[in-house]
Every structure is written in C-alpha cells, then in structure tokens.
Amino acid sequence: MPAKSAAAAPRASRPYMPGYGLPDATQGKGLLPWSWAERRLVGSHNYWFASARPEGGPHLMVIWGVWIGGRFWFSTGAKSRKARNLSANAACVIGTERASSAVIVEGTAQVVDPRDVPREVSASYKKKYKWVFDPRLGPIMAVTPRVAFGLHEKDFDQSTTKWTFQLPRRRGAAEETSSPRLRASAVKK
C-alpha cells in the first residue's frame, strides 16, 4: 500500500516517444494511474540510481531507499561517488528494480538535516532493510521528483505514461541562506 503523500498527484500524459509505436502524445486513453507507480516505488527493494560526474560522465549504482511523502529518501557515504556527484549537480534519476514494470523518476536530490527526517521515513527504512539512517556515515538525502515514467512491458504500446509533478514553491534567497539547518546540511566537497 503506497504511503499517503502530502504532495498533489502528478499530472498523467503520454510521453513523446517517436518510433516506439505509442499512440499520439495527446491521447490519454490507457494511461497508468499514479497509484500503479507508487506501489512499485514503495515495494521495490533495490533501486537504480543515476547521477552525473562533475566532468559530465554518467554514474549508475544500485541503492536502498524508501518512497514516502512524494519523495525518495536514501543515504550515502559522505565521500561516495554519489555524494560528490550530487554536490556538483543535484539532478538524478531513480529506477525501480523490475524493468518489466518500471518506474523511472527524474528529480533533484537535497541533503536533509537528520533532525528534519520524518519519523515515518526512518522507521520504514529500518523495517525494510534492518538498517538505520546514520548521519555519522554520510548525508541523508531526499529526491524531489520533477517527472516520472511508467513502462509496463505487457501493454507497453498502450499504457506507457509520463507523470509531471508540480514543483514546490521555491523559497526566497534570503530565507534559504538564513536557515542554519540548510547551511549546515550541505555536502562537503
């Protein structure tokens, strides 16, 4: 059962994928519901995580994480390739473990102060992996989605779906820099 999300449900549409035999991008018949994607995001045990190296090269790794409250939560070593990549470019992609019914989420990762991690996130992570988020090992991060894709192999040509998220309102620069928690939570290069 997907976790309740405080975020509004994303808008579903047909992705523009010329040459793949999909119905016209303006046709909405057969689109997958967001609940289909959330079940896979919550239920996946392992996730594919892609980021870009500072010089632009790709980096792909399998990670653990939890989908709660409309965001993907994970931790990483402070000096890991992921942490170094994300400190230079916060854009990333997460994919569920099963390619035959895949959900791919594109978004932006942000370091979260350990005091601001919702209890539900920590409890879910501990239950799922028998492991706890430990900020002494490295940053705890949350990915805010921008767009997601659902690909169901069985009916790929009719159900492939794109979801577009309404991005949260950006805080003013003065508000951002005045927050000691946001300043203290930055990934050290």
Q: What is the pLDDT of residues 124-170, one digit of tens each?
A: 999 999 998 888 888 999 999 999 999 988 887 778 999 999 976 65
In this prediction, residues 104-125 reach a mean pLDDT of: 96
Q: What is the pLDDT of residues 90-103, one digit of tens each?
A: 999 999 999 999 99
What's the pLDDT band for 1 if we cut at 50, 70, 90? very low
In this prediction, residues 119-123 reach a mean pLDDT of: 95
Please tell me whether residue 40 adopts helix, strand or coil conformation: helix
Q: Which CATH architecture has domain 29-184?
A: Roll (2.30)
How far is Cα 72 from Cα 131, in angstroms, rounded to an integer? 17
Helix runs in the chain, H state only: 34-43, 81-88, 119-129, 156-159, 173-178, 180-184
Give me the sign of the Cα torsion angle 115, 80, 102, 123.
Answer: negative
Structure tokens at 96: 């569920």
Burial 160-188 (b: 16+ CB within 10 A, else e): bbbbebeeeeeeeeeeeeeeeebeebebe
Beta bridge partners of 163: 12, 148
Residue 85: how many other CB atoms lie within 10 Å: 25
**% pLDDT > 90, the chain:** 66
pLDDT for res 155: 82
In this prediction, residues 5-24 reach a mean pLDDT of: 80
pLDDT for res 56: 93
In this prediction, residues 23-41 reach a mean pLDDT of: 85
Reply yes or no on whether the pLDDT at 173 is more than 60: no
In this prediction, residues 56-68 reach a mean pLDDT of: 97
Nearest to 112 by CA among 30, 47, 179, 34: 179
Residue 146: how many other CB atoms lie within 10 Å: 16
Please, are residues 99 and 122 in contact by the beta-carbon 8 Å criterion?
no
